Amino acid sequence: MKFNWGTGVVLAFIGFITFIMYFVISMFSSENFKNDLVTEDYYGAELLYQNDINKIKNSEELTENVSYLQTSAGLKIVFPKEFDSKKITGKVFLYRPSNKQLDFETSIVSLSDSNLLIPDKRLVDGRWNIKIDWQYKGNSYLFKESIIY
């Protein structure tokens, strides 16, 4: 068989197509490249996003907003001291972007003081997205932030 430029072009095309097929198959079959949506009902959550915007606006109008501190015991969430802590309700959601199995939600039922402690054993070092959706006397507030623990 004689090797000429036509044979080289055909072999180059076959090599390129083989490489692309290998790349596509390995991307679809590998567990390292699985990407999930943040929520299962992404589009339904997007329609309710205006409520979140209103809650964030309410939070920004407070004289003192929710804050957090990293302590040796864990993550301490501090609510505004001007509010009666027994009347604060809501949920704290911690989302780990790199591992969905580490995500968890904690309810804010009745606080004895204006602090909520998330134990250190529940938090792995790294990046977390924290979302605190809380209510006080019929008003809803939302605090969102990315933290490095």
The predicted model gives 50-73 an average pLDDT of 90
Characterize the bridge pairing of strands 88-95 and 127-136: antiparallel
Q: How far apart are CA 87 and CA 109, in angstroms?
A: 9
Report if pTM > 0.85: no
CATH code of 42-148, in short, is 2.60.40
Spatial CA neighbour of 139 closest among 93, 96, 94, 80: 80
Residues 62-99 have pLDDT tens digits of 999 999 999 888 889 999 888 888 888 999 999 988 88
Alpha helices, H only, the chain: 5-29, 42-47, 49-60
Q: How open is the CA angle 124-81-118, to the nearest 5 degrees?
A: 15
Strand partners, 74: 119
Instruction: List, in order, residues 6 or more apart from 116 with CB less than 8 Å away.
Output: 76, 77, 79, 92, 106, 108
pLDDT of residue 14: 97
The predicted model gives 51-56 an average pLDDT of 91
The residue behind tokens 């509010």 is 83
The pLDDT-based confidence of 108 (bands split at 50, 70, 90) is: confident
Q: Which two tokens stand for residue 140?
A: 């809803």
Return mean pLDDT, the chain. 87
pLDDT of residue 31: 74
The pLDDT-based confidence of 133 (bands split at 50, 70, 90) is: very high
